[in-house]
A and B are shown apart, each in its own frame.
Chain A
C-alpha cells in the first residue's frame, strides 16, 4: 500500500467532487500519479472485449453513434444479426458511424491525444494506457475539454481506455482498421532480460502490422538513443514495414505535435534532452 492514508483520502475526496461530470475544470495530475512502470506480462484486472465485434464503443464516442433505424423496420438481416449476437452472448449495442483509426499506445497523461484531436477532426482517436490512475486522468481531462469546447464540438473524437495493448490489441481492433499508431516515449526497459517487455519487438511488430492498414504509419519517438536504434532495427527488419524518409517525416504535422505536445516530450525539452523520431510505413502484404 503506497502513501499515507490521508493521501488516499484526499484523492477520493477530489475524485468524488468531480463526479457528476459537468465540471469544466481540468483534472489535477497530482491526484492521479502512478508508478511509471507496469508489468505487461501480469494479468492485472483488465477489462477487454472478447473480439472487436464485442466492443461497445458508443460510451467512448457518444457523438458518433450511428442513428439506428433498424428498430423501425427490422429487416431479416438485422434479425439474423441479433440472433447471432444473442447466440454469442453479447448484448446488442449501438454501433458507431465510423471506426477508431488512430491509436496512441501508452498515451500517458494524454498530451498527444488532446493535441491531435482538433487537428484530425475526421478521425476517431483512442489513447490506450495500462495504468488505472493515469487512464482515469485522461478520461477526466477529455470529459472536461468536451464540455469546455461543447459549442465547437471539439474533443468528441478522442477517448481513452485502460488496456494492455501488448497482449490485447487484436481484441480491440480489426485487421487493417488503424491508419496511425503512436508509440511515444515508451518504457525503455534497459535490462536485456526485460527486452521482451519493450513495446517494439520483431514478434510484436506483426501485431501492429495486423491492425494497421497498408500505407498506415507507425510513429515512434524516444529520448533514449539505444531504444531508438532498437525500434528502428526491429521495424526495418520486419518485412511488413519500411522506414519513412526524413523529408516526408518532417513534413508530417503529427511529428511536430509528437515532439512538443506530449508530456514526456515537454519534460525532455526542460531537461535539454535529445529526441529521436522514426516513422514506419505499413507495406502491402506480398501475395502467396
Chain B
C-alpha cells in the first residue's frame, strides 16, 4: 500500500497510507516506529451522531417525538457513526442491533415512506464511506513540531495528534476529532502553531483553534442530546418564507398551502459544537490554502477549481479581498511560497503550466509549460499527450540557489526547476522513478552533506504513468518511500525506508480514487450544451 501524504515533524517522518499514519525515525536509519490507525481508534463522536439522529428524526417527523423514541435515541447515543467496518465486526453488529428497533418502529408507524428514507440514509452513508475506514487526504505539522493534524475525507474530520513516548517508542496520541460542516480539502497552520485554517470542498475557509477550548469541547454527547431534545420539545413553529404575495403559479400556491398545514419542523442543527469561525468563501471547490506574510502583514491565499487564486487579508480582516492572481486556464491545484522568497508564489494546476506570481500585486511574472518541458527532455516519444495536473510543488534551498520541485498526478517523474532571481523557472533536471510520485517532503540538511534531501512516496502498485494498470502479481514491488539526494546535482537514492507491513491493498477503484483524484476536477466540456435546451415549458 503506497503512501498518499508525507510530512516531516522534526526527526520524524509522518506518512499516511489509506487510513493509517506511520511514523519513521529519520535520524535512526529511517526505522519504523509506530502506526496510528483510524480503525482501531474510537470513532468520532459529535457530528456523525447528529447525522444519524437527524436520519431517525426525519423518519418520524410527522408527529411530535414520543417519549419512547426519545429514550431510544438516547440509548443510541454511545455508538457513533454506522460505518462499514469489515475488520472488527463485533462493534458494528451491535450498533446495527440498536438501530434496528427504530427502523421497525418507523416502518410500523408510517409504512413505506419512512423505510425509503432510511434506505436513502444508508445509501448515502455507504457512499460516503467509499473505503472501509476514512482515508487520510492531508497531513500537516505545526511549526513547533509538537502536533500533527490529519484530515480524513469521508467523515470530514480534522484530527489533532500529539507525539508522545509510549513504552519507549514515539507514537501519535489522538487529542481531538472535529467534524467539519463540509469535507475539508486542504489546511494550513498559523506560524504560532495555535490555529488551523481549513479549506473545504464547499468553498469555505474556517479557522479553528488547534486545541479546542475546554468550555466548548467538554460538552458531552449526552448534554448535547438533552439540549437538543428539549429544543425539539419547544416546538419551533415553522414559518414559510413565501407568502401569498410572492408566489405566482398554481403549483407554488398548492405547495404553500401544504407548508402552512405543517405546524412544526424537526429542529435541524448541524452546526458543529466546537469553536470555529467562517473566514471567507468561494463559490467553488477549494483546492489549496496557504498563509503568507509580507512586510509585517498576514495574508490568506486560496486556490479553487474555477482557475482563481484569491489573496485575502489575514485575521482579523479576512473579509477583505486584496486581489486575485488570474491566469490559469484550468483548475488550480497547488501553490508554493518559497520560504526564502516570500513575495513569490508558484502555482500549478490542470493546464500544464506553472505560473510565477508577485501575489501581492496579482501580477504574473513568468510561466513554464510543463508538457513542453517534458516532451523536450524525452525527445517527444513516450510522453502522453493528455493533460497533466500538478499534484505537488515544493521548494528547496540549494547551494546554487532556490529550486522548485514539481510532481504531477500519475507521472513517474519529478521536475527540478531553478528559481532564478529574475523570477523565472528554468528546468534543471527531470528525474525518473520506478512508479508515479504521490507525495514528497524535504528532509533537513545533514551537516556533512551539502545537498538537500527529499523523501518521495512512490506508487508501487500501479504501472508508471498509469492510474489503472497495476503491476502483475509476483513482480517485486518497489519501495514505497525513497530518499533522494541532491548532492552534486541529483543522484541516485541513498536510503530506503523499511517497509512496514504488507497490508492488503484496497480494491482498485478505491485506491485510484484515493491516490488520483485531481483529474476529476477537470471540467467536462459539452456538459453545458444540454443547458441551452433547458427551456421553460409554458
Contact = CB atoms under 8 A, between A and B. Distances in A.
Interface in B296-340: 297, 306-308, 310, 312-313, 317, 319-321, 323-324, 326-329
Contact of A190 (B242, B527, B532): B242
B448 interface: no
A273 B248 CA distance: 10
A268 B245 contact: yes
Nearest to B321: A210
Contacts of A224: 241-242, 246
Contacts of A188: 241-242, 246
Contacts of B529: 45
Given A50-B307, A190-B241, A43 B246 contact: no
Contacts of B323: 175
Interface residues of A, number: 59
B446 interface: no
Contact residues of A: prevailing secondary structure: loop
Contacts of B297: 288
B283 A40 contact: yes
Contacts of A7: 535
A205 B312 CA distance: 13
A132 B532 contact: yes
A167 interface: yes
Contacts of A51: 324, 326-327
B430 interface: no
Contacts of B321: 170, 206-207, 209-210
B320 A206 contact: yes
Contact of A45 (B203, B241, B242, B528): B528
B320 A209 contact: yes
B312 A206 contact: yes
B268 interface: yes
B245 A167 contact: no
Contact residues of B: prevailing secondary structure: loop
A171 to B, nearest CB: 6
A50 B248 contact: no
B246 A273 contact: yes
B387 to A, nearest CB: 16
Contacts of A258: none
A1 B245 contact: no
A223 B245 contact: yes
A34 B317 contact: no
B214 interface: no
Interface stretch (A71-79, A97-105, A140-148, A195-203): A195-203
Contacts of A43: 523-524, 527-528
A56 B306 CA distance: 20
A168 B306 contact: yes
Contact of A285 (B308, B320, B533): B320
A187 B203 CA distance: 20
Contacts of B531: 44-45, 132
Interface residues of B, number: 50
Contacts of A268: 245
Interface in A81-127: 88
Contact of B268 (A190, A192, A271): A192
A259 B281 CA distance: 31
Given A206-B312, A206-B320, A268-B245, A88 B327 contact: yes
A202 B279 CA distance: 9
B61 to A, nearest CB: 15
A63 interface: no
A238 B268 CA distance: 26
A286 interface: yes
A34 B312 contact: no
Interface in A10-51: 33-36, 38, 40-46, 50-51
Contacts of A46: 528
A250 interface: no
Interface in A203-222: 203-207, 209-210
A36 B283 CA distance: 20
Interface string A166-177: 111011000100
B528 A33 contact: no
A2 B243 contact: no
B66 interface: no
B534 A201 contact: no
A270 to B, nearest CB: 9
Interface of B: 202-204, 240-243, 245-246, 248, 268, 278, 280-284, 297, 306-308, 310, 312-313, 317, 319-321, 323-324, 326-329, 364, 523-529, 531-538
21 contacts: A2-B535, A42-B527, A42-B528, A44-B528, A45-B528, A46-B528, A88-B364, A132-B531, A190-B240, A196-B283, A202-B281, A203-B281, A206-B320, A207-B321, A210-B321, A224-B242, A226-B241, A226-B242, A268-B245, A274-B245, A288-B297
| A-B pairs with lowest CB-CB distance, top 8 | A203-B281, A45-B528, A273-B245, A51-B326, A226-B241, A210-B321, A44-B528, A33-B536
